[in-house]
Amino acid sequence: MKAEDGNMKRAFQIIVSIFLFSVFWGHTLPAQENRGPKIVVKEPVFDFKEIKEGDIVQHTFKVFNEGDQILEIKNVRPG
């Protein structure tokens, strides 16, 4: 009877250990990122330095979608 109690106690300890490990491990994993479009601008600021009045200047900002759905840019305003 005592050997049987020891086996039951050991089985219970293993089950509790596995449960606690899975709870701990679940909280340390990074959260899954939100799905959808993700806009990324590699160079969000560009300094034109000093320019003369009336000069026409331009710069191309490269915009990427690193998400897993279509990125729609509906409105752009200069800052």
- How does pLDDT run across 11-70, given as a tens digit for each residue? 778 887 777 677 666 655 565 666 899 999 999 899 999 999 999 999 998 999 999 999
Q: Is residue 21 part of a domain?
A: yes
Domain tally, the chain: 1
Question: Which tokens is 57 given?
Answer: 């200047």
Question: Which tokens is 52 given?
Answer: 């003369």
pLDDT at position 68? 92
Terminal CA-CA length for the chain: 80
Quote the domain boundaries for residue 8. Answer: 2-65
Q: Is residue 73 part of a domain?
A: no
pLDDT at position 79? 66
Question: Which tokens is 8 given?
Answer: 């039951």
pLDDT at position 78? 75
Q: pTM (2 decimals)?
A: 0.46
What whole-number distance in Å separates Cα of residue 35 and Cα of residue 12? 40
Q: Is residue 77 part of a domain?
A: no
Q: Confidence band (pLDDT; 50, 70, 90) for 71?
A: very high
Alpha helices (H) in the chain, listed in sequence order: 2-28
